[in-house]
Structure 1
Amino acid sequence: MRHTEGCSRRRLLTLAAGVSAVLTFDRALATATTPTATSPSQAGDQTMQTRAIPSSSEPLPMVGLGTYRGFDVAPGETAYRQLPAVLDELFRKGGTLIDSSPMYGRAEQTTGELLSIHEPRSPAFLATKVWTRGRKEGIAQMEQSFSLLRTERIDLMQIHNLLDWQTHLPTLREWKEQGRIRYIGITHYTPSAYDEVESVLKAEQLDFLQINYALDDRGVEKRILPLCRERGVAVICNRPFGGGGLLARLKGKPLPAWVSDVQVNSWPQLALKFLLSHPAVTCVIPGTGNPRYMADNAGAGFGLMLTDAQRHQLIALLE
């Protein structure tokens, strides 16, 4: 467990859900706030860098957390007991965005349980999705997400994989006007959907697009990312390590000699910083249930970004 300067006391809490689990949190998280926009040099020394959400200019820390698989666990499981430390690392490094979905099993409920432990909840930028057909069904599912996440406001509601997007979008806009959600967006994770994604981006005014982008999966660079810049849409990168084979391909290869110049000490950090070096990218959300991996991933949000030459060198390593 880690201790923050001036605050070493911790709370011992028990969540009862048929089975009890002992959870510990750094109390310093209670005073954490969303970082303001900083220059690269300042961010390297102080806290995670941010990118402005185009539709509002609100600064959003560059590295967040995906909850797919890692948070689909229940109290009592060994994996569940690691998750408080995962959030500890996210917040301690200055990250805020936590992304979930009804299709991620128990992930929304787990996220709500863990965030309800400490006060205030201001460090978390909560993002989830609607993933069903029909207006009534969509409303019911989103209401359930509010309940599971234990919140009265969700920062970002996304239409997952564009499922019945024409039906859900009016509801999202209405709820945004009411203040129940702050931003709206769409998501997808496969190149076969790019034409539809592009069409929706051109036809509708959206705050966010969540899309697959990785060092070995660069299809969005051709049209999707330039379109997002043109339309003022923030980009969240899912599957930032590709389909799972990217890090295996890089394992054993020496890091480039220039990595110390950009404050990188691992391949995961460098793979994430490759994405963050694209001017259209706002945030990356690598998923993990391991606090050590969360700390390493968060490191990509510090230091200088990559030059075009450095990006091309990384691409060449995989060719």
Structure 2
Amino acid sequence: MEFSNSRRNALKTMSLVGSAMLLPSYNALAQNKDTILQRLIPSSGEELPIVGVGSWQQFDVGATAMDREPLREVLKSMDKMGGKVIDASPMYGRSEKVIGDLTTELRLNDRLFLATKVWTTGRQAGIDQMKDSISKMGRTKIDLMQVHNLQDYQTHLRTLKDWKEQGRIRYIGVTHYVDSAHARLEQIVKAKVVDFVQFNYSIGSRHAEGSLLKAARDHGVAVLINEPFEQGALFRVVKGKALPPWAAEIGIASWAQFFLKYILGDPAVTCVIPGTSDVKHLIDNMGAGMGPLPDQATRKKMLNWMGL
């Protein structure tokens, strides 16, 4: 996959330019359970770890042991490091079923915060799809059900409100992945009909800083961030470049952590969900949720270092 190759090449390049000494010990980081930072879900006060896992492409695999072993290690390491959030969708092929199977096998299912989506048109079609998704994920009750890419969102939000009142889901959300949808997401956030909003945001794509992040903070809506690496494009931007000398002061040991900590420096962000099927990348990503986060002045330095 393009993302994995870009990430792998970036890490390799870092070692060549002398930055390898900054890379974390993966075994050591994996043992630092319960040290990941937490943020509150505004509508309930429940705490969530600030780094989770997305499953688009990476979890869409077959049923063989060879297919699933890397993902098994990803889930085990996430749990060891105190992570909880896994985000899926029926749009992501076999991801929901793979997540349900592996988390049940590993006896992690009940400990995790499982999120998925409804991605269809019409009330009954939405109900049928959501029932199927929850079953695939090994649950009778899902933590977060989101309307994927706002598809028929007014219809589905009515259903989700009823389901939440009935105790069939814990939280309601809406999602998108392009800047052009931010205005509509902001309208929904301001209407206070959802607990979560999920959207794209990165150090190189900061449209959400205009008003969407502020709206979520002001109206008490939790924020999940997708596309934090812009499908690997950010690693190509920094290829051959060393981390700034002051990065270690805020616990940054890799470019992935640089990109993630920039996002997490905004207090409106509840959790960022980079996708990966590589355990080393998972451990590296989770490390971004540990230690200090950049303040506004440091975030400006990060932008300047990137030439943004």
TM-score, normalised relative to structure 2 = 0.87
The gaps in structure 2 that reach 5 residues or longer are: 1-31
CA distance in 2, matches of 1:289, 1:90: 12
Q: Contact conserved, 1:215 with 1:242, CA < 8 A, in 2?
A: no
Report the Cα offset of residue 193 of structure 1. Answer: 1.2
Residue equivalent to 2:249: 261
CA distance in 1, matches of 2:34, 2:199: 29
Residue type of the alignment partner of 1:318: G
CA distance in 1, matches of 2:62, 2:87: 18
Aligned-partner SS, 2:110: coil
Q: Contact conserved, 2:56 with 2:88, CA < 8 A, in 1?
A: yes
Report the Cα offset of residue 251 of structure 1. Answer: 2.5
Deviates more, 1:74-83 or 1:181-190: 74-83
Higher fraction of strand: 1
Q: Which runs of 4+ in 1 moved over 4 A?
A: none
Higher relative contact order (CA 8 A, sep 6+): 2
Given candidates 203, 206, 222, the residue that maps to 1:234 is: 222
Q: Contact conserved, 2:33 with 2:80, CA < 8 A, in 1?
A: no
Residue equivalent to 1:191: 179
CA distance in 2, matches of 1:69, 1:46: 28
For the pair 1:154 / 2:130, whether they are aligned, the reply is no
Residue equivalent to 1:208: 196
For the pair 1:100 / 2:121, whether they are aligned, the reply is no
The gaps in structure 1 that reach 5 residues or longer are: 1-43
Report the Cα offset of residue 46 of structure 1. Answer: 5.1
Residue equivalent to 2:4: none
Q: Contact conserved, 2:34 with 2:82, CA < 8 A, in 1?
A: no
Residue type of the alignment partner of 2:211: R
Q: Contact conserved, 2:34 with 2:81, CA < 8 A, in 1?
A: no
Written as runs of structure 1 = structure 2, the 5 A alignment for 1:117-136 is 117-119=105-107, 121-136=109-124
TM-score, normalised relative to structure 1 = 0.84
Report the Cα offset of residue 226 of structure 1. Answer: 0.4
Given candidates 66, 72, 77, the residue that maps to 1:89 is: 77
CA distance in 2, matches of 1:263, 1:236: 22
Q: Contact conserved, 2:123 with 2:155, CA < 8 A, in 1?
A: yes
Q: Contact conserved, 1:64 with 1:95, CA < 8 A, in 2?
A: yes
Residue equivalent to 2:39: 51
Residue equivalent to 1:27: none
Higher fraction of helix: 2
Q: Contact conserved, 1:108 with 1:145, CA < 8 A, in 2?
A: yes
Q: Contact conserved, 1:79 with 1:289, CA < 8 A, in 2?
A: no
1:32-57, Cα deviation, whole Å (9 max, x unpaired): xxxxxxxxxxxx89511100001111
In structure 2, relative to structure 1, the CA distance for the partners of 1:301 and 1:87 (3 Å cut) is: same
Q: Contact conserved, 2:33 with 2:81, CA < 8 A, in 1?
A: no
Report the Cα offset of residue 266 of structure 1. Answer: 0.4
* Aligned-pair identity (%): 47
Residue equivalent to 1:318: 307
Report the Cα offset of residue 199 of structure 1. Answer: 1.8
Aligned-partner SS, 2:111: coil
Residue type of the alignment partner of 1:292: K
Given candidates 265, 268, 286, the residue that maps to 1:280 is: 268
CA distance in 2, matches of 1:181, 1:80: 28
CA distance in 2, matches of 1:200, 1:86: 34
Q: Contact conserved, 1:216 with 1:318, CA < 8 A, in 2?
A: no
Written as runs of structure 1 = structure 2, the 5 A alignment for 1:300-319 is 300-316=288-304, 317-319=306-308
Report the Cα offset of residue 263 of structure 1. Answer: 1.6
Report the Cα offset of residue 309 of structure 1. Answer: 2.0
- How many residues get paired? 276
CA distance in 1, matches of 2:203, 2:244: 15
CA distance in 2, matches of 1:147, 1:122: 14
Residue type of the alignment partner of 2:175: T
Report the Cα offset of residue 261 of structure 1. Answer: 1.7
Q: Contact conserved, 2:134 with 2:142, CA < 8 A, in 1?
A: yes
CA distance in 2, matches of 1:46, 1:94: 5
